[in-house]
Amino acid sequence: MSIPADDVPVPARVRELAGAARLTPAWRNGLGGLTFRTDDGRYIKWGPLDLETSMAAESERLAWAAAWVRVPEVLEQGSDDTHEWLVTRALPGESAAAPRWTADAATAVRAVGEGLRALHDALPVEACPWSWQVPDRVANARRRGVAVPEALRQGPSVDRLVVCHGDPCCPNTLLADDGRWTGHVDLGALGVADRWADIAVAAMSTEWNYGPGWADALVAAYGVEPDRERMAYYRDLWNAT
């Protein structure tokens, strides 16, 4: 995932959804999906249909989570035979992977860890209709033709069930100018799972965005001691699926 160049071609559907608004490229994912920011306070996400999750699923999860945490308001969602799109109202703040925050890793990592803990504490497990637990993730991978190693098909015992973000990489936390977290984005895989499924991936992603040596700082900001066994397992599961 990366921030694309300003001259990235704008898909016709995105141009149609933007109307008269000016578009600025904000993000490109590994599947070729693009996210654009408009000058009238919206984000337009567009990308190929994907079996792992969908923007329809994200739309449902955002609407549900909005009762407890700050997430983008869905304005429009749709698809055609090959691609899908999601239009949301912009939240205050900037991605924790924006250049100003990659240059201030200590502030960003602390905010991501604190924001993830706040998300877990706020979302009610008993009310969540979706699961992101190991059997469901393995089954999803199988449907996509991914062979998950046998050693990963059953996870460690559950430490604490929470409603996980599902894609807790650092860019998906937003920060205010003062370095505090302000919200969460990209919740297409949100569901109930052990909290370490999120913590491990968030910690792993610090290396991609800020360089080595920040994983334990994120775990400390979350408010727990590192659980090396669970962290290793959920990192491997993420990479395998």
pLDDT at 189 over 70: yes
Please indicate, yes or no, whether residues 40 and 140 belong to a single structural domain of this protein.
Answer: no
pLDDT at 239 over 90: yes
Indicate the burial class of 149 (C-beta count within 10 angstroms; 0-12, 13-18, 19 or more): exposed
**pLDDT confidence of residue 27:** 85
Please indicate, yes or no, whether residues 99 and 152 belong to a single structural domain of this protein.
Answer: yes
pLDDT at 25 over 70: yes
Please indicate, yes or no, whether residues 78 and 39 belong to a single structural domain of this protein.
Answer: yes
- pLDDT, one tens digit per residue, over 153-177 is 999 999 999 999 999 999 999 999 9
**pLDDT confidence of residue 31:** 79
Q: What is the largest CA-CA distance in the chain?
A: 52
Indicate the burial class of 91 (C-beta count within 10 angstroms; 0-12, 13-18, 19 or more): middle
Q: Which of 167, 194, 198, 227 is catalytic?
A: 167
CATH code of 162's domain: 3.90.1200.10
**pLDDT confidence of residue 2:** 55
Please indicate, yes or no, whether residues 60 and 116 belong to a single structural domain of this protein.
Answer: no
**pLDDT confidence of residue 187:** 97
Annotated binding-site residue? 80: no
Please indicate, yes or no, whether residues 25 and 79 belong to a single structural domain of this protein.
Answer: yes
Please indicate, yes or no, whether residues 157 and 227 belong to a single structural domain of this protein.
Answer: yes
**pLDDT confidence of residue 28:** 87
Annotated binding-site residue? 194: no
pLDDT at 201 over 90: yes
Beta strands in 39-190 (DSSP E): 42-48, 73-79, 83-89, 94-95, 161-164, 173-175, 181-184
- pLDDT, one tens digit per residue, over 88-137 is 999 999 999 999 999 999 999 999 999 999 999 999 999 999 999 999 99
Q: Does 167 participate in catalysis according to the annotation?
A: yes
Number of compact structural domains in the chain: 2
In angstroms, the CA 196 to CA 198 distance is: 5
pLDDT at 86 over 90: yes
Which structural domain, as residue segments, surrounds residue 47?
12-89
